[in-house]
Amino acid sequence: MPTNLAENALAALKVGNDNVTAAYVGNSQIFPNVTELTSWTGQNGAYNYPNTGAVVGTYSTSITGPAGATFDLVGTNGAIGQSGLVKAVDGAESFGYGVSSNTACDGAQRIISLGITPTGNTTLASPFGGRPNPDAGGSGVQPALQYGSPYATQTITPSGSFATPTEIQKNTVACGNNTCFAAGTIYDFTFTTGTITNNSGTKGVGAYNFLVQPTGAAGFAATVTNRNNTMGLNNPSPGAGPTDIYYSGGNNITAANQSNKSFTWRYEITNSSGYQPLAISYRNYYYDIGLTGNGGCYNITPNIGPQNYIYP
């Protein structure tokens, strides 16, 4: 809120014969028209910040200048600043800043940077004393490093394949110029895993899912029965439908012990009165669901197998 005489800023303000160094309305300086911050301590030479982060106020910087000066603390590369700050006292005064967490998967160590930006009628002295602006360490102190994430992504590489489904019974019906499957059709399926590997740990696939279609439509129904596996996984959703062939619990079994295991089940069309499929399709999926530890940093590649078909 500058103090002017007409369009010109006042060059001086006096009480009697004495110069007034500053005048305020509330906390807002109205004379002189520009306030000047003269120095700051930046990050005070702090380094090796924890990767867990810290809230604003955990760390502080001291800023020197007159009461009423306004500014923002600007954080980059992990620093958390504040905006709309106002100095309450003349001379040095401390203001808090924080550091954000650096625990995301594969997060590298980084150099925290904190800057000060004047606002309103406040300026920075030239030269501005103390630490560089912005301050990222160095210049006689340690770089302002923050530790990297403790969690490196573990890549799990599954493998496996279906044996040719075993036809137990096949019923067909003419549908236009094609032959379609009909109720009473039964196939047995077997999926065998190959070598399951983890590039830097022991975890294997979290869950295995096998989808056989069709499973349901108007005038159509199919069931999945005789579900078994040699891996010791749970089958959490017994009953008809694609989720029948969903096996969880892989987080308790190492990649090595998931290798060369088999899953088997029987698929039967029980109703085809309103829909007769031209083909039966089937494929497999791999999920990281249920994998705990390591910050949840897991990647499964590939996570889906090829689509396969049985035709009448």
Reported confidence tier of residue 291, pLDDT bands at 50, 70, 90: very high
> pLDDT tens digits, residue range 24-52?
666 555 656 689 999 999 999 999 999 99
Over residues 192-204, mean pLDDT: 96
H/E element, 207:
strand 207-213
pLDDT confidence of residue 1: 44
Tell me whether strands 113-118 and 70-76 are parallel, antiparallel or unpaired. antiparallel
Token representation of residue 158: 């599954």
Instruction: Find, among 176, 180, 170, 266, the residue nearest to 219 by Cα.
Output: 180
* 278, pLDDT greater than 50: yes
Write down all domains in the chain, each with its CATH number in brackets: 1-33 (no CATH), 36-146 (2.60.40), 154-310 (2.60.40)
Token representation of residue 241: 């439908």
Q: Please, what is the average pLDDT of the chain?
A: 90
For residues 143 and 192, the answer to whether their CB atoms sit within 8 Å is: no
3-state secondary structure string across 82-139:
EEEEECCCCEEEEEEEEECCCCCCCCCCEECEEEEEECCCEEEEEEEEECCCCECECC
pLDDT confidence of residue 248: 85
* 184, pLDDT greater than 80: yes
> pLDDT tens digits, residue range 234-262?
877 654 455 568 888 888 899 999 999 99
Residue 226: φ, ψ to 5°: 55, 45
pLDDT confidence of residue 250: 87
Token representation of residue 51: 């990767």
Over residues 102-129, mean pLDDT: 97
Token representation of residue 97: 């800043």
For residues 29 and 68, the answer to whether their CB atoms sit within 8 Å is: yes
For residues 248 and 206, the answer to whether their CB atoms sit within 8 Å is: yes
Global pTM reads 0.78
Is 6 or 288 the better-scoring residue by pLDDT? 288
Neighbours of 195 (CB within 10 A): 13
* 273, pLDDT greater than 50: yes
**Sign (positive/negative) of CA torsion 164, 171, 307, 263?**
negative
